[in-house]
């Protein structure tokens, strides 16, 4: 008998309010019926970063509209849903709470099962939603708040192979843009400006390449760029357009080298794994994507990068992770709590940096 399940997903852990409907049928696999993302970039732009209180308030104000929109785009009503999946962490607590309270209300009012989802699991399981990728695989999650290699064996079994011990690369891209007076978010701007730059003009560090393993660090690289800018300003009185382009190109090349080398080591740890996937906003970067693809081609490992809209924060990945958890028998109830910290791999020691900041995932 063909079994079909239709889940509402809700995401509100950082600065995107999102709702989506995903349907999974035992005969046809998953289908995203709608995915609505209401970003808050404009709200936080003047502050140079996400302001948690403003984010929480915006989520609370927008979440029901996002859900209505997701239902109407899918041409469905609440009566067509089988369960509610919601990000229960990690993230900014006020935002996560907005989503969890909304999901609990809907679950109680509609009598539907409630599934709390780890936001990072949402990212890590996305290649299964988009490409039907089979377990196991290695995932590099690389965004504005997170940077880690995960060995994904099941929808509830993740092993962290390595992670950034300080900043995430997206955060570093954003700070470099700020240092150079470029617009936010910094990643796409730095990539654009780097196109006319010489990556070899300035010698920038490749942190932690001299240390074994897959852990990474990007804060020293950021400081090196700050020092470089300051010394150019002192000696020349300012930066030329070419200086800016060369700094962006040098920085991007350093991040690319670190991510590619650490990815090579992650693959070497698990030689029998045949697929490598990336997710997170930084996966949108052309040279980084190309370097990772080239590495995988060389190792004859499959390379998967979900479409950008599903690489960055969205609720379709939460609905899908909810469907995967539901299939494994997980159910939550009204005692579900919002968790600012929620490591996917509880057996790995906590790191001070990425993954503990919780602002973004
Ligand atoms: O996954 P995401 O939308 O949000 C979270 O961080 O959760 O990622 C956003 C981050 C920002 O730091 C942004 O600067 C970075 O991804 N990013 C990029 C590019 N596009 C976005 N970084 C480098 N190159 C890009 N093309
Ligand atoms: Zn995220």
Looking at domain 5-131+313-359, which CATH architecture does it have?
2-Layer Sandwich (3.30)
361 lines ligand 1 (CB under 6 A): yes
State the pLDDT at residue 354. 44
C-alpha to C-alpha distance for 153 and 246, rounded to whole angstroms = 41
**Whole-structure pTM value:** 0.92
Query: Is the separation of the CB atoms in 280 and 146 below 8 Å?
Result: yes
CA 341 to ligand 2 center in whole angstroms: 13
What are 49's strand-pairing partners?
none
Pocket test for ligand 1, best of 45, 185, 358 (most atoms within 8 A of CB): 185
What are the CA-CA distances from residue 240 to residues 107, 223, 245, 247 (Å)? Answer: 57, 20, 9, 11
- Domain residue spans of the chain: 5-131+313-359, 137-309
- Tens of pLDDT, residue by residue, the chain (361 residues): 779 999 999 999 988 899 999 999 989 999 999 999 988 888 887 777 788 888 889 888 999 999 999 999 999 999 999 999 999 999 989 999 999 999 999 999 999 999 999 999 999 999 999 999 999 999 999 998 889 999 999 999 999 999 999 999 999 999 999 999 998 889 999 999 999 999 999 999 999 999 999 999 999 999 999 999 999 999 999 999 999 999 999 999 999 999 999 999 999 999 999 999 999 889 989 999 999 999 999 999 999 999 989 988 999 999 999 999 999 999 999 999 999 999 888 777 666 554 434 444 4
Same fold, 5-131+313-359 and 137-309: yes
User: Looking at domain 137-309, does it have CATH number 3.30.420.40?
Assistant: yes
185 lines ligand 1 (CB under 6 A): yes
173 lines ligand 1 (CB under 6 A): yes
State the pLDDT at residue 350. 67
DSSP conformation class of 357:
S
Nearest ligand, CA 143: 1
């Amino acid at each position: 008998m063909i079994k079909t399940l239709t889940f509402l997903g809700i995401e509100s852990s950082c600065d995107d309010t999102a709702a989506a409907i995903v349907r999974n049928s035992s005969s046809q696999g998953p289908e995203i019926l709608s995915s609505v993302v209401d970003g808050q970039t404009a709200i936080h732009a003047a502050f140079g970063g996400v302001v948690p209180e403003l984010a929480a308030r915006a989520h609370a104000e927008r979440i029901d509209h996002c859900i209505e929109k997701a239902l109407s785009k899918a041409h469905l009503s609440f009566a067509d849903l089988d369960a509610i999946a919601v990000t229960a962490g990690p993230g900014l607590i006020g935002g996560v709470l907005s989503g969890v309270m909304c999901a609990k209300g809907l679950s109680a009012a509609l009598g539907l099962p409630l599934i709390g989802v780890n936001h990072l699991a949402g990212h890590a399981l996305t290649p299964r939603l988009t490409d039907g990728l089979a377990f196991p695989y290695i995932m590099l999650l690389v965004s504005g708040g997170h940077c880690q290699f995960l060995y994904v064996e099941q929808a509830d079994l993740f092993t962290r192979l390595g992670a950034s011990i300080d900043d995430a690369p997206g955060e570093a891209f954003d700070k470099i843009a700020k240092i150079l007076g470029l617009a936010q978010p910094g990643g796409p701007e730095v990539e654009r400006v780097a196109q006319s730059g010489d990556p070899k003009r300035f010698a920038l560090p490749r942190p932690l390449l001299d240390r074994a393993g897959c852990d990474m660090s990007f804060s020293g690289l950021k400081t090196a760029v700050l020092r470089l800018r300051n010394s150019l300003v002192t000696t020349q009185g300012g930066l030329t357009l070419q200086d800016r382009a060369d700094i962006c190109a040098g920085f991007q090349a350093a991040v690319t080298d670190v991510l590619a080398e650490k990815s090579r080591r992650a693959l070497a740890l698990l030689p029998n794994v045949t697929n490598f996937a990336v997710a997170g906003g930084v996966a949108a970067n052309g040279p980084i994507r190309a370097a990772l693809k080239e590495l995988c081609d060389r190792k004859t490992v499959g390379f998967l990068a979900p479409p950008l809209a599903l690489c960055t924060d969205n609720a379709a990945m939460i609905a899908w992770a909810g469907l995967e958890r539901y299939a494994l028998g997980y159910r939550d109830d009204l005692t579900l709590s919002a968790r600012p910290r929620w490591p996917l791999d509880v057996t790995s020691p906590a790191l001070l940096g990425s993954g503990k900041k919780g602002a973004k995932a």
